[in-house]
Structure 1
Amino acid sequence: MKVRSKKYIKNDGTFPGAEVGEILIKKGEVGYIRSIGTFLNRYYIYGVDFIDSGRLVGMRLKELELVEDKA
């Protein structure tokens, strides 16, 4: 499923190889959902593969919007 980031996503310390506070994903960047998991059995976390930046980042639904392909 193709999605777009609704906001800038910064490293909270859980993304290896990047400084805490470093911007990982820019607002408007497009990616594809690769997996769905949970955090604390309370929140769904979507593993989103952002191909342009080469990063796989966990995001919450409120941080994403669906991108509809024009057919």
Structure 2
Amino acid sequence: MSLGREEEIEVYKPPLFRPGAKVYARYQVRNDGTMAGREIGEIVVKKGDVGYVRDIGTYLQRYYIYAVEFIDRGSVVGMRGRELGLFAAREATS
């Protein structure tokens, strides 16, 4: 019986991005309450914002969380790999 919550365990594979990688946000991201000094629901990253991966951590021993520094916004935001795209790949398709 499947509960519909079957998700791939990301940490069994290598990370999608490495520290220093130039990435862009594929989606708009709002504060879920984990960013101190910001209102819950406040937009912290807009679709298309460009940043650099600073560090890689894990969440629940299942998912990679990429600490991305958005220099223009002056913030570091934890994001999932599916929320990011490699900037060089974006330039190649433009």
TM-score range, shorter chain: over 0.9
Q: Aligned partners of 1:17, 1:66: CA distance in 2, in Å?
A: 29
- Of all paired residues, the percent bearing the same amino acid is 56
**Structure 2: runs of 5+ lacking an equivalent:** 1-20
Q: Aligned partners of 1:26, 1:55: CA distance in 2, in Å?
A: 12
**CA radius of gyration, larger in:** 2
**Structure 1: runs of 5+ lacking an equivalent:** none
Q: Aligned partners of 2:33, 2:66: CA distance in 1, in Å?
A: 18
Q: Relative contact order (C-alpha < 8 Å, sep 6+): which is higher? A: 1
Moved over 3 A (4+): none
Q: Aligned partners of 1:22, 1:68: CA distance in 2, in Å?
A: 28
TM-score, structure 2 length as denominator? 0.72
User: Counting helix residues as a fraction of each chain, which structure ranks higher?
Assistant: 2
State the secondary structure of the residue aligned to 1:68.
Answer: helix
Question: Which stretch shows the higher mean deviation, 21-30 or 61-70?
Answer: 61-70
Superposed, 1:10-49 pairs within 5 Å as: 10-49=30-69
TM-score, structure 1 length as denominator? 0.95
Deviation for aligned residue 1:2 = 0.1
